[in-house]
Structure 1
Amino acid sequence: MTAITKTAAAVLLSLGAMGAYAAGVTITISCGSVGQDYEFCKKAGDEWASKTGNTVKHLSIPQSTSDILGLFRQMFAAKSTEVDVINVDVVWPGLLKDHLLDLTSYTKGAEKAHFPAIVANNTVGGKLLAMPWFTDAGVLYYRKDLLTKYGEKAPTTWAELTASAQKVMDGERKAGNADMQGFVFQAKAYEGLTCDGLEWVSSFGGGSIVDSTGKITINNPAAAKALNTAAGWIGTIAPKGVLNYAEEDARGVFQKGNAVYMRNWPYAWSLSQGADSPVKGKVGVVALPKGDGGKTAAALGGWQLAVSKYSKSPKEAADFVMYLTSEAVQKDRAIRGSYNPTIASLYKDKEVLAANPFFGDLYDTFVGAVPRPATVTGAKYNEVSAAFWNATHEVLSGKSSGEDSVKKLEGKLDSIRRGPKW
C-alpha cells in the first residue's frame, strides 16, 4: 500500500468514525433542580456527548422531591421510554426497584471506590440499581460576622441556638434591618421536612420514627419534646413563612443577609461564597445542634443515578452514569458546587478541601448521618414519610401538640403497616 493510499485509508477511517458518532444515540437524563445541579449536569453531559458522539437531552422535573417521585412513578407505570437516566433520592431504590436496570455488568468494579454504606443502600436483591452521585447530610450555616459582633459562638445545642438567634436577630432589627430572621430551615410539608424533623427527633434521643426491626417508635416523650421545641421557633426566631420553605427558600433569605442561622445541605456553601453573594466570606458551617440529653444528628441525604429498565439504549445510558459518577466529575462538582463526593479518597484531596474547608471537619457527620426508615418500610416508605411530615407540620403550625401528634402518628403508621411486618 502506497503512502497516498495509506493516507486516504486513514481519512476514510476518520470519516467513518465521525459518521458513527453522528449516528450516536440520544440519552435523556433528569438532573436535580436545586441550586447549580442543572448547570453542572449539563456541563458533564456535554463533555460525555463530545467524547462519545452521543447526544444528551435534559428532562425538566419539579423542584419538590415528592413531586419528582410522583413523576417517575407515572412514567414507569406507562413504561415510558422518554427518560434513560434518572436521579434517584437515597430513599428510592427500594421503591423503584422493579423499574431500574441492574448496573453490575457495566461498572467494572468502580463501585468499590464509593462509600460501602451507600452502595449497599443502592443494592436491592443483589442488584446494583444505582451508582452514588453525591451524598448529603444536614448542616448548620451561621453568620460568623454577626456572632462575633454580639459575642456569640456557634451553638452546640438547640437551646443555645434559640437564645443566640433571638439575641442577634433583635440586635440587628434595632440596628435597622427589619427583615433579619434568627433561623431559617425547611418546614414545608414535603420530604425535606421529614429530614429536618428526623434530625430534631433523633437529636433529642427520640429515635428514628421506625427502628431497624420495623417497630414504630415515634410515640415517646423525647420525640414530642423535639417537635414542641421546633414549634416554638415559628413566629419568634423563624418567620411564619418558613412553614412554606423548601431548601432554596431558606437559602434565599440567608444568602441575602437576612438570617443568622440556616439548616441546609452542603450545596449552599459554594453559592454563599459566590462573587455576587452578599454574605461571601461571612459564613461558617458546623454540625447541627443536639437536644436535651441527645446528640447531634444529621439526616442522610444524597442522590444516585440509575438507568430506566425501559431505556432503548441501556448500554450508552449506563456508560453515561459511570462517567457522571466518576472521580473526576465528582471532584469537579465538589470544588465548584460543594457537593459531597461518595468517593472517600476525595475527602483527602487538597483542592477539594481548599474549596470546602468544612468537609474535613465534618467528615464524621457525613459518614455517620442518620438514615430515614426507607429500607425497613420498603414500598410503604413514601406513605410513612408523608404521615411524618404532615404530623410535624401540624405541630409547627400550632394545630397540634407534640404529644398528641406523635400519638396519632403512631396509629397512622400502624394503619399503613397493616400487620406485624412492613
Structure 2
Amino acid sequence: MQLRRTTTTLLIVLLVVMTWLGLKTALASQTVDVKVLMPAPFADATKPLVDQFNQEHHGHIRLSVVKGPLETEAISDLAISSLLLGNPPFDALLMDVTWVPKYAKAGWLQPLDQWFEKAEFEQLAKGVQPGNEFEGQIVRWPFVASMGLLYWRTDLMDSPPRTPDELVNISKQLQADQKVPWGYVWQGRQYEGLSCVYLEVIHGFGGIWYDPSTGTIGLDQKPGLAAANWLTNLIKDGISPQAVANFAEAESLQSFKMGESAFMRNWPYAWAELQKEDSSVKGKVAVTTMVATSEENSAATLGSWGLSILNGTKHADETATAIRFLTSQSAQRTLAMSHGYTPTSTELFNDPELLTINPILPELSIALNHAIARPETPLYAQISDALQRNLNSSLTGESPSNQSMQETEISTEYIIKSAGGRS
C-alpha cells in the first residue's frame, strides 16, 4: 500500500513538472524575435533601451540589434547585399536619410501608416520631417536628428559671422593678428561629407543642387559656381589649410579642438568632444547656422537616422512595436542624456535637465528649422559621387572650379537620362 501511494505521488509530481515544462516551451515558442540592423555606434548606444524593451515584453517579443559596420556606406552595402539575396536576417533597418528613395523604389520598405498616425509625424521637429516619405506614404520613422553646424570661438569674437564674406574677413584678421593659424576647417575629402558641405554653401548663395520634382540642376548656374569658387578660394587664400581637401569630420574636429582655427563646420556630436579635458577650446565654443548671403538662405544639411520595416518580415506588428519604443520621447531622452544625440521631439529641446547637459539645444532647434534634405532621388549615390569627385579636384588644384561644376552638371544629366529621365 505504501509503495502504491509513493508511486502515485511520483507520477503526480512528474505530471506537474512535465506540464510546467510544456507550458514554458509553449511560451518560449510564442516569443517573436525581432532583429534590427544598426551601425555600430547606435548598436552600442541602444543596448540599455533594448534590455528595457525585452524586460517589458518578456514572453512576447525579444528584440536584438545586429551590429553593423561603423561607416555609413558600409552599412548600406551590407543591407543592400542582404536584401538582394532575399529574406534578409533582420526585420528593420536604421537608415540614413539619403537611402529612403532608393530602398523604397526597390520595394524593400513597408509603409508605416497602419502603425503610426500622420498627426504623430507632424508633431516631430520640423527639420526631421523631410526624407521619410515615398509616394505619399511614411516609410521611415525619425530616430535621431543631426544637421550641419558652424562652430565658432567665443574667446576670439563677440558674435559669429553671418555671411561668407564676414567669415573670410574675420578669419584674415585673426590670422594677421596671429590668433590662429587657420580661419576655417571643414570636410573637403572626396566622400559624402563634401556633398553635405556644398549643399549648405550653394543654398547659402541662393541656389539649389538638384530638384527631382522639376529636374532642375543648379550646379552650373551662378549660385552653384559661386559656392564652388568660395570653397576653392578658402584654400587658395589660406583661410583653410591645403590639407582640408583631405579632411573628414575627425580631422576637422581635431584641428579645431587643438585651437588651430576660428571656425569649423561639423555635426552636433562634436560639441561633447570639444568640452572634454583634453580640448584646448573647452568652454570657448558656440554654434550657429551656416553663413549665407541672406538669412533666408541659411541652410543646414539634414543628416538624420530613422527606422524602417523591411518587406519580407514575418513580424511586422512586433517590429512596429519595437520601433515605436525606440523612437519614443522617453527613449530619445535617454539617448540625449547618455550619448548627446539630438532628439526629434520638439518638446525635448526645452527639457531643463537636457539643457543642463547640452546647453546648445536651443541653437540645435534653430538649426533644425534651417535643415534641408539632400536631393531625394534613388539616384542620389551616383549624383553625389559625381559632385564629390569633381569638386575635390578643384580643391586640390587639379581643375578650375567653374570647369568642375560644368562637368558635374553634365555627369548629373547623364546619370538621370541613363535611368530613364527625371528621378
* Segment of structure 1 superposing worse, 350-359 or 296-305: 350-359
Whole-angstrom distance in 2 between the partners of 1:317 and 1:94: 21
Deviations 1:12-36 (A, max 9, x none): 99x9689847974544333345xx6
Identify the residue that residue 354 of structure 1 maps to in structure 2: 356
One-letter amino acid of the counterpart of residue 193, structure 1: L
Identify the residue that residue 169 of structure 2 maps to in structure 1: 163
Residues 26/259 of structure 1: CA separation in 2 closer, same or farther (3 Å cut): farther
Does the 8 A contact of 1:31 with 1:59 survive in 2?
yes
Residues 411/346 of structure 1: CA separation in 2 closer, same or farther (3 Å cut): same
Whole-angstrom distance in 2 between the partners of 1:326 and 1:133: 9
Determine which of 148, 151, 154 is the counterpart of 1:138.
148
Q: Equivalences for 1:322-401 in 2 at 5 Å?
A: 322-374=324-376, 378-401=377-400
Residues 294/402 of structure 1: CA separation in 2 closer, same or farther (3 Å cut): farther
Identify the residue that residue 6 of structure 2 maps to in structure 1: none
SS in 1 for 2:307: strand
Whole-angstrom distance in 2 between the partners of 1:287 and 1:293: 9
Identify the residue that residue 80 of structure 2 maps to in structure 1: 73
One-letter amino acid of the counterpart of residue 29, structure 1: V
Residue 52 in structure 1 maps to residue 62 in structure 2: no
Whole-angstrom distance in 2 between the partners of 1:160 and 1:370: 23
Q: Which TM-score applies when normalising by structure 1?
A: 0.82
One-letter amino acid of the counterpart of residue 164, structure 1: I
Identify the residue that residue 5 of structure 1 maps to in structure 2: none
Does the 8 A contact of 1:169 with 1:260 survive in 2?
no
Identify the residue that residue 6 of structure 1 maps to in structure 2: none
One-letter amino acid of the counterpart of residue 46, structure 2: C
Residues 342/79 of structure 1: CA separation in 2 closer, same or farther (3 Å cut): same
Does the 8 A contact of 2:148 with 2:302 survive in 1?
yes
One-letter amino acid of the counterpart of residue 74, structure 2: D
* Segment of structure 1 superposing worse, 119-128 or 68-77: 119-128
Whole-angstrom distance in 2 between the partners of 1:294 and 1:127: 29
Identify the residue that residue 190 of structure 1 maps to in structure 2: 191
Aligned pairs, number: 397
Residue 106 in structure 1 maps to residue 129 in structure 2: no
Whole-angstrom distance in 2 between the partners of 1:276 and 1:19: 55
One-letter amino acid of the counterpart of residue 31, structure 1: M
- Please state how far the C-alpha of 1:95 moved relative to its aligned partner: 0.9
- List runs of 5+ in structure 2 lacking aligned partners: 1-15
Q: Which TM-score applies when normalising by structure 2?
A: 0.82
One-letter amino acid of the counterpart of residue 262, structure 1: M
Whole-angstrom distance in 1 between the partners of 2:189 and 2:387: 12
One-letter amino acid of the counterpart of residue 384, structure 2: S
- Please state how far the C-alpha of 1:297 moved relative to its aligned partner: 1.9
Q: Equivalences for 1:81-92 in 2 at 5 Å?
A: 81-92=88-99
SS in 2 for 1:29: strand
Whole-angstrom distance in 2 between the partners of 1:363 and 1:116: 9
Residue 237 in structure 1 maps to residue 243 in structure 2: no
- Please state how far the C-alpha of 1:341 moved relative to its aligned partner: 2.0
Identify the residue that residue 201 of structure 1 maps to in structure 2: 202
- Please state how far the C-alpha of 1:208 moved relative to its aligned partner: 3.0
Report percent identity of matched pairs. 27
SS in 2 for 1:260: strand
Residues 220/296 of structure 1: CA separation in 2 closer, same or farther (3 Å cut): same
Does the 8 A contact of 1:28 with 1:59 survive in 2?
no
SS in 1 for 2:211: coil
Does the 8 A contact of 1:31 with 1:41 survive in 2?
no
Residues 271/127 of structure 1: CA separation in 2 closer, same or farther (3 Å cut): same
Does the 8 A contact of 1:205 with 1:293 survive in 2?
no
Does the 8 A contact of 2:127 with 2:371 survive in 1?
no
SS in 1 for 2:210: coil
Whole-angstrom distance in 2 between the partners of 1:39 and 1:276: 24
One-letter amino acid of the counterpart of residue 40, structure 1: A
SS in 1 for 2:55: helix
Identify the residue that residue 222 of structure 1 maps to in structure 2: 223
Does the 8 A contact of 1:254 with 1:262 survive in 2?
yes
Whole-angstrom distance in 2 between the partners of 1:16 and 1:421: 58
Residues 304/319 of structure 1: CA separation in 2 closer, same or farther (3 Å cut): same
- Please state how far the C-alpha of 1:220 moved relative to its aligned partner: 1.2
* Segment of structure 1 superposing worse, 19-28 or 338-347: 19-28
Deviations 1:236-274 (A, max 9, x none): 232333223222332233234443221111122233224
* Segment of structure 1 superposing worse, 328-337 or 391-400: 328-337
Does the 8 A contact of 1:66 with 1:190 survive in 2?
no
Whole-angstrom distance in 2 between the partners of 1:18 and 1:162: 69
- Please state how far the C-alpha of 1:407 moved relative to its aligned partner: 1.6
Whole-angstrom distance in 1 between the partners of 2:103 and 2:154: 42
One-letter amino acid of the counterpart of residue 190, structure 2: A
Identify the residue that residue 42 of structure 1 maps to in structure 2: 47
Identify the residue that residue 7 of structure 2 maps to in structure 1: none
Does the 8 A contact of 2:91 with 2:309 survive in 1?
yes
Whole-angstrom distance in 2 between the partners of 1:332 and 1:240: 40
Deviations 1:168-194 (A, max 9, x none): 3565578xxxxx543221222222211
Does the 8 A contact of 1:122 with 1:129 survive in 2?
yes
Whole-angstrom distance in 1 between the partners of 2:67 and 2:284: 36
Residues 393/366 of structure 1: CA separation in 2 closer, same or farther (3 Å cut): same
- List runs of 5+ in structure 1 lacking aligned partners: 1-8, 175-179
Does the 8 A contact of 2:190 with 2:392 survive in 1?
yes
Whole-angstrom distance in 2 between the partners of 1:17 and 1:342: 40
Identify the residue that residue 283 of structure 1 maps to in structure 2: 285
One-letter amino acid of the counterpart of residue 318, structure 1: A
